[in-house]
Amino acid sequence: MNSKSSPRRSGRTRRALIPVALGLALAPLTGCTGPVIEGPPASQVEVLSSAPGPDYVWIDGYWGWRWGHYHWMGGHWERPPRPDAKWVKPRWERRGDHYFLIEGYWR
C-alpha cells in the first residue's frame, strides 16, 4: 500500500460512514423506536418541584430505549407551545411479540 492511496481510502470510508452516523443520531427523533422484545418496567415515582411559572405544565417521565436497554427519562416542567395545547404522553404499544415507543407530543 502506498501513501497516495491510503488518504483516499480513509476519505471514502469517512464519507460512507456519514449517513450511518446521521441515521443513528436522528433515530430518537423519529417518534417511534424500533421493536423491543420485553415490555417496559413500571413507571418510577417522581417528586415534582415547584413550577417555574404559572403557565408551565408537568411532563411525566417515561421509560425510553437507548443502547439496548431501558433508561428512565425524567419528568420536567415545560411551557406549552400555545395556550390551548394539550400534552399527549409517550406510550409503549405492543404489536405482536414486540413493543414500540410512541413519543409524546403537543396537540
Per-residue model confidence as pLDDT tens digits over 46-73: 999 999 999 999 999 999 999 899 999 9
CA-closest candidate to residue 92, choices 41, 19, 29: 41
* pLDDT of 78 strictly over 60: yes
pLDDT band with cut points at 50, 70 and 90 for residue 93: very high
User: Rounded to the nearest 5 degrees, what angle is found at the Cα of 107, between the Cα atoms of 96 and 39?
Assistant: 25
Average pLDDT over residues 23-46: 71
Q: Which of 10-14, 51-55, 75-79, 80-84 is the least confident region?
A: 10-14
b/e for 57-84, b at 16 or more Cβ within 10 A?
A: eebbbbbebeeeebeebebeeeeeeeee
Average pLDDT over residues 94-99: 95
Q: Which of 105, 107, 97 has its CA nearest to residue 35?
A: 97
* Residues 94 and 101 sit within 8 Å (Cβ to Cβ): no
The overall average pLDDT reported for the chain is 81
List of residues 6+ apart from 78 with CB closer than 8 A: 56, 57, 59, 87
| Domain extents in the chain | 1-30, 33-106
